Amino acid sequence: MILKILHLATIILLSGVISCSGKIQVAPLLLLATDTGFGVYTAEILKAEGFNEIAVDSLAGEKVTASYLTQFDLVILAESKINPLKLNMVREYVKNGGKLIALKPDQELAELFGVAPLGKSITGGYIRIDTSVDQGKGLSSRLLQFHGKADYYSLNGAGTMATLFANKVSGESYPAVVTNSYGKGHTIAFLYNLPQSIVLSRQGNPLFAGIEKDGIPGLRGMDLFTDSWLDTSNSTINQADEQMVFLSHCIENMMADSKPLPHFWYFPDTLKCLVTLTNDGEYKSEEDFEPQFRDVDYMGAKMSLYIIGVNKVSRSWVDKWTAKGFEIAGHPDDTKEAANPTWIRMDSAISTRKKEIASGYGLPMRTNVNHWFVWCGRDADEKQEFSAQAKLEEKNGIEMDINYAHYDMKSNQGEHFLGPSGINQGNFTGSGLVMKFADSRGNPINVFQHLNAVYDQEYNESHDPDGFFYCFKGLMDRSLNKDVYSFISVKSHNDEYYFSKSPLMKMLAYANLNKIPVWTELKLLDFIKMKDEASFTRLTWVNNKLAFDINSSLKNSNGLTFMVPAEYEGSRVDKISLDGNDARFITRLVKGSEYAFITVNPGIKHSIIVNY
């Protein structure tokens, strides 16, 4: 099905602006995708990486002609079947000097990428990035797991930037990512479906939706990661994020003779990490919550509280703590059918709790954790769908989900099937970033997924308070010092505060020591939405000056930071002008590349000039 323009409403970052001269200036990047094959989710990857200067269209779109493609500096082609007419169009575009990055391209395009199809494919495996090439510098040279489909090719003139392996012990290898010159143009091809791999790494195996797999009572999102879906030896490197950064490096490398591209930084201001703190209040009362809230507040942190027993918490108590910046939201309870949650019952559980929070406290319920992390795996038509729960949340106005949690105690999958504990625990989704869910076709859902990596019950049941703290410390240290960036979510049940108080206070002290704020999920949601909504427009590159506007309409109490390459075409950033005034900037090495960072106030338009 061709991606309709209405379906693009939530993912188009920039379709074009009109200059004073009347000439239409398009975005520097064009994504060609359809609503099958996970291609549309590529836009979410680009937004997560901060490239908010793209236009999105379909390869089959009527306006997608050779002259249309030449308006862009770089075209990214997601998995799409290609007809002879469009094949000739793409071939001529590259031959005449165009730049093309393809993600699992149609084999009819093999000539453009300097490879020859071998008529074989694989589902799932590993890639190894060549860290000696520019695009791989600063990245991991370890075998990185991928999920989804890949095609086998032989080289036919291309250079290899990453190699594909069926498994860790196979001596047989094939190209995974290749670069090639074709005519006057340049191409890069990911020969596996990168966006599909990112979604399946973050969300699990769609074939396991609605099936009890881990032996832990109740269907949960973690059931989707069973039967060796995870290579837990890669727990500490965020292997899905590593592959997204590789795509970013490919984009920047291909833009080396066009213009330097700005992109937004992951975190607020110039932070390298961020922490959120949540509390499943269950059936406890405000008298139970008060001591824990006071402790957290004393440490300068904030907390999100998800409650079932709304009749045990007064409006005045909620008003007092929300005024201090804490979040109070509902804890939907569908545990009566935890073994087989249905769309109708789960819908009712969410909507009922949302109404209670609204009527009792006058608050919206925008973030969510379900009691027992119950995860519905079937859609309204009772069809298997691993994103059904996220779709239910979208239906009910929930914008962020924190139901994926690191809990694998007493599982039939063996010890720690989600990964090691303590200092070596990482993010079992392969990602430390907050990104939108996708359905099983790869279409984004307007609900953000935030992994709860630091989970008190996991460590309480193993009688390991030190492990609880060191899990947190390991994630933070790697984010601060190893470029393994994470938005860290900590869970501290009020029921289990007898266990978690001491390690939690150590966590909050460690965050303070490193000047890392501890937020509610609601505050994080507002920041992520603001960062995603902002865009770069009117980019020009003349006489070693990069000029552009930042368009931003969502205000936020924290700064929005963008970054540009610190060096371009042999010249370094000399000065940055913000709205006509010289602005202070810092330089920082990120994943092997040096950037100049500058922070602006969101919610207004800014004009930027970067002098090299």
pLDDT-derived band at 309 (thresholds 50, 70, 90) equals confident
User: Phi and psi for 346 in degrees, rounded to 5?
Assistant: -65, -40
264, β-bridge pairs: 562
* 238: exposed, middle or buried (Cβ count in 10 Å: 0-12, 13-18, 19+): buried
Q: CA nearest 87: which of 62, 107, 116? A: 107
How many angstroms separate the first and last alpha carbons of the chain? 45
Q: Are 67 and 75 in contact (CB under 8 A)?
A: no
Task: From 475, 498, 528, give the residue that closes a domain.
Answer: 528
| 85 lies in some domain | yes
Q: Are 563 and 262 in contact (CB under 8 A)?
A: yes
Q: CA nearest 596: which of 261, 273, 267? A: 261
Q: For residues 242 and 283, state if they share a domain.
A: no
Q: Are 12 and 56 in contact (CB under 8 A)?
A: yes
209 has a pLDDT exceeding 60: yes
| 269 lies in some domain | no
Rg (CA), the chain: 24
Which positions ≥6 away from 67 have C-beta within 8 Å?
none
Q: For residues 485 and 338, state if they share a domain.
A: yes
Q: For residue 158, give the DSSP letter.
A: P
What is the number of domains present in the chain? 3
| 221 lies in some domain | no
Q: For residues 580 and 472, state if they share a domain.
A: no
- CA angle, 396 then 402 then 403, to 5°: 90
CA distance 29 to 26: 8
- pLDDT for residue 403: 98
Give residue-wise pLDDT tens across range 34-77.
888 999 999 999 999 999 999 999 998 889 999 999 999 999 99
Output the domain CATH number for residue 193: 3.40.50.880
Q: For residues 519 and 587, state if they share a domain.
A: no
Task: From 466, 494, 528, give the residue that closes a domain.
Answer: 528
2 has a pLDDT exceeding 50: no
| DSSP secondary structure, 501-541, as one string | HHHHHHHHHHHHHTT--EE-HHHHHHHHHHHHH-EEEEEEE
Residues 303-313: what's their mean pLDDT? 95
Q: Which residue range forms the structural domain that includes residue 596?
A: 534-611
Percent of the chain with pLDDT over 70: 96
14 has a pLDDT exceeding 50: no
Q: For residues 369 and 450, state if they share a domain.
A: yes
Q: For residues 203 and 341, state if they share a domain.
A: no
Model confidence, pTM: 0.95
CA distance 39 to 41: 5
| 220 lies in some domain | no
Q: Are 582 and 608 in contact (CB under 8 A)?
A: no
pLDDT-derived band at 18 (thresholds 50, 70, 90) equals very low
Q: Are 455 and 499 in contact (CB under 8 A)?
A: no
Q: For residues 376 and 497, state if they share a domain.
A: yes
Q: For residues 153 and 61, state if they share a domain.
A: yes
Q: What's CA 195's distance to the chain center, in Å? A: 11
Output the domain CATH number for residue 600: 2.60.40
435: left (phi over 0), alpha (psi -120 to 50) or beta: beta
- pLDDT for residue 61: 87
Q: For residues 495 and 588, state if they share a domain.
A: no
- pLDDT for residue 15: 38
| 80 lies in some domain | yes
For tokens 């000056």, the residue is 545
Output the domain CATH number for residue 307: 3.20.20.370
Q: Are 314 and 286 in contact (CB under 8 A)?
A: yes
SS3 of 44, please? helix
| 601 lies in some domain | yes
Residues 368-374: what's their mean pLDDT? 98
| 222 lies in some domain | no
Both tokens assigned to 579: 């709205």
Q: For residues 486 and 580, state if they share a domain.
A: no
16 has a pLDDT exceeding 60: no
Q: Are 462 and 422 in contact (CB under 8 A)?
A: no
| 109 lies in some domain | yes
CA distance 251 to 287: 54
Q: For residues 53 and 83, state if they share a domain.
A: yes
Q: For residues 249 and 372, state if they share a domain.
A: no
